[in-house]
Amino acid sequence: MSRGRTSSALRSASYIGVVRYQVLAADYDGTLAHHGVLDAETRDALERFRRSGRKVVLVTGRELGDLARVCPDLAVFDVIVAENGAVLHWPPTRETRALCEGPKPAFAEALRARGVSPLSVGHVIVATWEPHQAAVLETIHDMGLELQVIFNKGAVMVLPTGVNKATGLAAALEHLGLSPHNAVGVGDAENDHAFLASCECAVAVANALDGVKAKADLVTRGDHGAGVRELVDRVLGSDLAELAPKLRRHDILLGHRLDAESDGDAAEVRLPAHGANLLVVGHSGGGKTTFTASLLDWMRAAGEPPVVIRTIPGTADRRRHVKKYAAGDVGADRSFYFRGPKGKLNLRAQNLELFLQLADGVDDETWMHHLERGDYSKWVYETIKDEDLAADIEAVERSPSGAPRETRAQVRGAIEARYTKPA
């Protein structure tokens, strides 16, 4: 199914550092709503937020049927994370999908047998109210089930282990093509901790529990919907730029240094997670690629947002690299070797010029042996590090009707189109 994606204008703006917060992730009860009601002013604020090209994701512990009863018009939300992270619902298409499998019916039957009432069973969640938490925990223990109990202002919610509002929000953002680093989250209660912590900026409304306020980056002056309206105005007005100094926890730790101002301690060197560029320089073979790849691998493992790497052609350094690959010496361990199908040859090409000379001179069997194995494009990709050239050569290698003479000419043409022959 095709999902709603961030508008192209907003997405382009984010790449150049204009827009940081593209998603408002909001709890319902006690945050957007007061006594279960989403008032007209707050609904209008959400619509204004969406008209800016941003998305609104509702993150609630309610089951969808119960939510629709108190909030009949769900079209103000782009995606709904329901049942405390276990279910996704797309109001535009009315599609609903459970993100995991819920407890077997025998679990709810056992709870009813213990006198647990009221008891509701959703797509995944099984929920009741205090003081039935003891009966719930005993039933989980007695049945040997791998389930967790989440408490929220008197509600007792049972879900598969590891499922919470944060995991549900992550799934919703993935379908929107966005990251938690694009999100500002707002909530008020115990079960909001997880998803607020996962957002780039965590906001608590004025009526939130003290524990939620203590961990928030911002506490609104207004309560319930008024607090959300206040937040919407600030995001649309400044993209919360004034909060940037509080969000240093997202900065990327590059290393430590000793300097005069650190009194002998290792001062941290950090790269801001938003609105910063990193230039990696050094001589050829000095480890720039290794460093950059290691940094990106670390960021990916740490759950940092995607990074766009832009190469800048046309510089003197680029011309030196072209000359090296065309006529220099890439080294014995990185050279191409024409060996043939039986390994009888050992013809070394330490640059593209010599590669073309040897390619013209080797027998057809040797040429086709390496062509059919994909050796040429692999060498260009790994040693020359020219992805476009490698792709063109790979297309020649994959041609089902390629003959020795034609494929030699095609590979030569692809190389000479990018690398000027030395004078």
Say if CB 204 and CB 212 are below 8 A apart: yes
Amino acid at 90: W
Task: Report the distance separating Cα 259 and Cα 267, nearest Å.
Answer: 8
Strand 55-59 relative to strand 23-26, pairing: parallel
Determine the pLDDT at residue 278: 76
Q: pLDDT below 50 — which residues of the chain?
A: 1-17, 260, 264-265, 311-320, 421-423
Is there a shared CATH topology between the 8-98+163-245 domain and the 105-160 domain?
no
CA angle 189, 67, 177 (to 5 degrees): 75
Determine the pLDDT at residue 422: 43
| Helices 404-418 and 352-361: angle between axes, nearest 10 degrees | 170
Determine the pLDDT at residue 14: 39
Determine the pLDDT at residue 22: 95
Say if CB 420 and CB 357 are below 8 A apart: no
Distance of CA 128 to the CA centre of its chain: 35
Q: What fold characterizes domain 8-98+163-245?
A: Rossmann fold (3.40.50)
What pairs with residue 97 in β-bridges? 88
Q: How many CA atoms lie within 13 A of 337 on its CB side?
A: 10
Termini Cα distance of the chain: 56
Amino acid at 186: V
Determine the pLDDT at residue 315: 45
Instruction: Collapse the DSSP code of 293 into the 3-class scheme (helix H, G, I; strand E, B; otherwise coil) and give the result.
Output: helix
Determine the pLDDT at residue 345: 85
- Whole-model pTM: value is 0.64
User: Cβ–Cβ contacts within 10 Å for residue 342, how many?
Assistant: 9
Instruction: Collapse the DSSP code of 124 into the 3-class scheme (helix H, G, I; strand E, B; otherwise coil) and give the result.
Output: coil
Determine the pLDDT at residue 400: 75
User: Could you tell me the residue ranges of all domains in the chain?
Assistant: 8-98+163-245, 105-160, 251-301, 319-418
Average of per-residue pLDDT values in the chain: 85
Determine the pLDDT at residue 270: 75
Separate counts of helices (H) and strands (E) for the chain: 16, 16
Separation in Å, CA 416 to CA 54, 316, 325? 47, 20, 12
3-state SS track over 356-376 = HHHHHHCCHHHHHHHHHHCHH
Determine the pLDDT at residue 15: 38
Burial of 189 (0-12, 13-18, 19+ CB in 10 A): buried
Q: What is the pLDDT of residues 16-25, one digit of tens each?
A: 346 889 999 9
Query: Which contacts of 307-312 are long-range, i.e. CB under 8 A and separated by 24 or more positions?
Result: 308/15
Determine the pLDDT at residue 320: 44
- Match domain 105-160 to its CATH number in 2.60.120, 1.10.60, 3.90.1530, 3.90.1070: 3.90.1070
